[in-house]
Amino acid sequence: MITRNILPAFGLVICMGHPLEAHAQGTSCNPEVSGDGPLRIDDARVHVRDFKGPGGFVLAVGSNPLAGPFKIRCHNQGGCLLNVTAMVNTSGNTTTCTSVDGLFLRPPSPLANNSPMTSLQSGHLTTGQHTIDTIVDSGDGSETLGSWEVIYTLYDR
């Protein structure tokens, strides 16, 4: 089943269900498009990337890549606002962090202790291209990654 959510302030229609696809307002949802890739929405003022995965594997000690690295461009001369929402299920003690050009966003992610964790981070980006990366950090390498989703929203001001 495909459903439509309309964000009139940004002129977007998000088609949700399986498969996923996004279109500019005024077009229809396309049920023939594969849902294997990330959800991607591009508008003159807002850009959204939605990555998700089933997990099901043991994390290595240290940083484990979740979504990224990938490139994103801020077009506005006044800069852009990047919001990151990461929802991660793990067993054990882990943290989920997003970096932009190698620098971690604020606030620092909380420690997930055998429970689902949602991390909300944001940062101001200067004009130009940036490298975005989200990782799950494992303290001892015995944690299992469950299902996860990371949503990046870039607002051109």
127 and 61 together in one domain: yes
Q: Say which residues have a Cβ less than 8 Å from residue 79's Cβ, sequence separation at least 6.
A: 124, 125, 126, 127, 157
- Provide the 3-class DSSP secondary structure of residue 24: strand
63 and 25 together in one domain: no
Tell me the pLDDT of the chain (157 aa) as tens digits.
Answer: 333 333 333 333 333 332 223 333 333 333 233 344 556 666 668 888 889 998 888 999 999 998 889 999 999 999 999 999 999 998 888 889 999 999 999 887 777 777 788 889 999 999 999 999 999 999 888 899 999 999 999 998 6
29 and 91 together in one domain: no
- Other Cβ atoms less than 10 A from the Cβ of 68: the count is 18
Q: Is residue 44 situated within a structural domain?
A: no
100 and 151 together in one domain: yes
- Other Cβ atoms less than 10 A from the Cβ of 66: the count is 22
25 and 54 together in one domain: no
pTM: 0.72
Q: Is residue 146 situated within a structural domain?
A: yes
Q: Could you tell me the CA-to-CA distances from 63 to 59, 136, 139 in Å, in that order? A: 9, 6, 9
86 and 132 together in one domain: yes
Q: Which of 133, 132, 129, 153 is nearest to 49 (CA)?
A: 153
Which structural domain, as residue segments, surrounds residue 85?
Answer: 50-156
90 and 132 together in one domain: yes
Length of the chain counted residue by residue: 157
CATH number of the domain at 94, please: 2.60.120
58 and 118 together in one domain: yes
8 and 79 together in one domain: no
Q: Is residue 42 situated within a structural domain?
A: no
Q: Say which residues have a Cβ less than 8 Å from residue 63's Cβ, sequence separation at least 6.
A: 135, 136, 137
Q: Is residue 43 situated within a structural domain?
A: no
Q: Is residue 91 situated within a structural domain?
A: yes
Domain count, the chain: 2
99 and 152 together in one domain: yes
12 and 65 together in one domain: no
